[in-house]
Amino acid sequence: MKKFWSVILSIALLLCCVPATYAQTAVEMPELAEYGFVENDGVKIEYGIYGDLNAEPLLLLPPNGGDMHCFDDSILPEMSKHFKVITVSPRYTGNSDMGDDGLTFEIMSDDLVVLLDTLGVEKTRIFGFSDGGNLGMVFTVAHPERVESLVIMGSNINPLGTKVFDQISIVFEYAVLAVKAFFTGDPADIVERDIQGLMVFHPNLTFKDLQSVEVPVLNIYGEHDMIKRIHSKRITKNIPNAQELMIEDGGHSTCFEYTDTIINPALLEFYGVTK
């Protein structure tokens, strides 16, 4: 039984960093320019920086359960040519600590404030995929003065934004993990449960919250995304002057199949980068 759960965990960890598996061409990883930890109330948060340390900052926020390496083989190599790219392992992931306060987007948002303060970054561009995009929206609503622009991809403002059958699967998996964690008390099982719980109980933004966002926003989603298309369109509609891009034939994670042909060019255009 222990071996069975180890296999399941290994598969889950591979899936959480799906972006890395969808690079269309072999890319050379940039050198890690800076690596370390910041501390928020005793909780250590892992980060890495790529690219020119004197360039404008771009913060990458990974999907549910993902760490600072989730974009290594997708958007990171190209973005590091133009920006000081800051990657982060949210608490519960990578080499970051768990902490004793549970896991919410609000808590992770506070961690980002400490990260930016420690790095001396007053304002940054943000790219977030899936739960990373959810975190990006929560952070932007709470700290608009710290955000230059925001790109979200495959993101939702509440669990109702996920398609019904996908959400049923998410809730079922959470129930299994919750039972397992209850009986084992194993910290690793608690981590799995709480990470999965983010998709069950969070985020808790409203469309009215989005109306206060004044920074430039690009909302990317797949034609066959697990997020309801009407939900994605309502996100765009409720953010003043937001743009959106639907990737035809793209799913949720499979949008990264179009990293070179669609995503990177769209990001560079949105950020005003000319090659």
User: Which residues lie below 8 Å from residue 147, measured CB to CB, with a gap of 6+?
Assistant: 123, 124, 125, 126, 139, 140, 215
pLDDT digits (tens, 9 = 90+) for 152-211: 999 999 999 999 999 999 999 999 999 999 999 999 999 999 999 999 999 999 999 999
Q: Which residues of 118-141 are buried (b: 16+ CB within 10 A; e: fewer)?
A: ebeeeebbbbbbbbbbbbbbbbbb
CA angle 73, 116, 52 (to 5 degrees): 50
Q: How far apart are CA 148 and CA 227, in angstroms?
A: 25
Domain locations in the chain as residue ranges? 24-161+206-270
**This prediction's pTM:** 0.91
Considering the chain, what is the average pLDDT of its residues?
A: 92
Q: What is the pLDDT of residue 23?
A: 40
Q: What is the pLDDT of residue 271?
A: 95
Phi-psi region of 83 (alpha: psi -120 to 50; beta: other; left: phi over 0): beta
pLDDT digits (tens, 9 = 90+) for 112-134: 999 999 999 999 999 999 999 99
Architecture per CATH, domain 24-161+206-270, reads as 3-Layer(aba) Sandwich (3.40)
Confidence of residue 28 (pLDDT cuts 50, 70, 90): confident
Q: How far apart are CA 95 and CA 236, in angstroms?
A: 34
